[in-house]
Amino acid sequence: MPDASSPRDLDGVRGVDLSTTVVVALGTRAAAQDGDHRALAELVGRLTGVAGASITLSQVCPNCGRSGHGPLRVELGGAAVDSPTVQVSLARADGRLALAVTAAGPVGIDLESVGALARAPLDDVLLSTAEADAVAALHPRSATAAVTAIWTAKEAVLKAAGVGLRVDPRDLTIARAPDEVPAEHSPGPALVGWQAAPFPLNQAHLMSVAAPEGLVATVAVVCARRPRLYLDR
């Protein structure tokens, strides 16, 4: 992850308004989960100005009630009473780590390897009928990348919803951004179908994240207005 002591990095995030922005950082996965959680706490600390020792990350499964898995929650022990609620998410793939921090609303991030998905295709358990029809019309190489993009979008949405894979991914339908549109002008993917969604579909804002070659990353934020995406380098 970026060096927390670097003046360049600190200057880059000092003016970020987390109530209207989702900050994403990509880095190297730690050897153990605790190391990834420390990296996330350090990023939250740089963004909020709260000392790392006062930041607590926890996970409690809403299904079984046990700790150690489930949605990540963050507590800022040194924050002012009127500070906005900070939301966080974390994903790992192929030795890499993706972090997301925002106060705009519930957030989810996912990171996947195109190669790994090609070796263990998930089309039958992942794609809705509309998605399967769209993917079937693509060249095989493009189809694998498309399925990976759909998978990361669904994972991101389900994380933001706080339900994870307790929901059948085929219940959701993602509309991919057109391949012919340059990334800087693309509206990104969109959640266009989920009958049991716990929020209005137009409040699920999906954004593709520039990731290392061979990886695909997507972040989702649930809020009324589309937040700005800031990639912390």
Query: CATH number for the domain including 62?
Result: 3.90.470.20
Which helix (H) or strand (E) is 217 found in, with range? strand 215-222
User: Directed axis angle between helix 129-136 and helix 140-160, to 10°?
Assistant: 150
The chain-wide mean pLDDT, for the chain, equals 87
**Residue-wise pLDDT tens digits, 124-156:** 999 999 999 999 999 888 899 999 999 999 999
Give a yes or no: residue 110 inside a domain: yes
pLDDT band with cut points at 50, 70 and 90 for residue 64: confident
Taking the model in full, what pTM does it have?
Answer: 0.89
| pLDDT over 70 percentage in the chain | 86
Domain range for 177 = 7-232
Give a yes or no: residue 2 inside a domain: no
Give a yes or no: residue 226 inside a domain: yes
Give a yes or no: residue 104 inside a domain: yes
pLDDT of res. 81: 56
Give a yes or no: residue 31 inside a domain: yes
pLDDT at 179 over 90: no
Structural domains of the chain, count: 1
Give a yes or no: residue 84 inside a domain: yes
Per DSSP, the residues of 8-74 read HHHHHHHT--TTTEEEEEEEEPPSSHHHHHHHHHHHHHHHH---GGGEEEEEE-TTT--EEEEEEEE
pLDDT of res. 181: 53
Give a yes or no: residue 93 inside a domain: yes
**Residue-wise pLDDT tens digits, 68-123:** 777 889 988 866 556 678 999 999 999 999 999 999 999 999 999 999 988 988 88
Q: Which region among 106-110, 185-189, 220-224 has the lowest average model confidence (pLDDT)? A: 185-189
* Highest-confidence segment of 54-68, 156-170, 177-191: 156-170
Give a yes or no: residue 94 inside a domain: yes
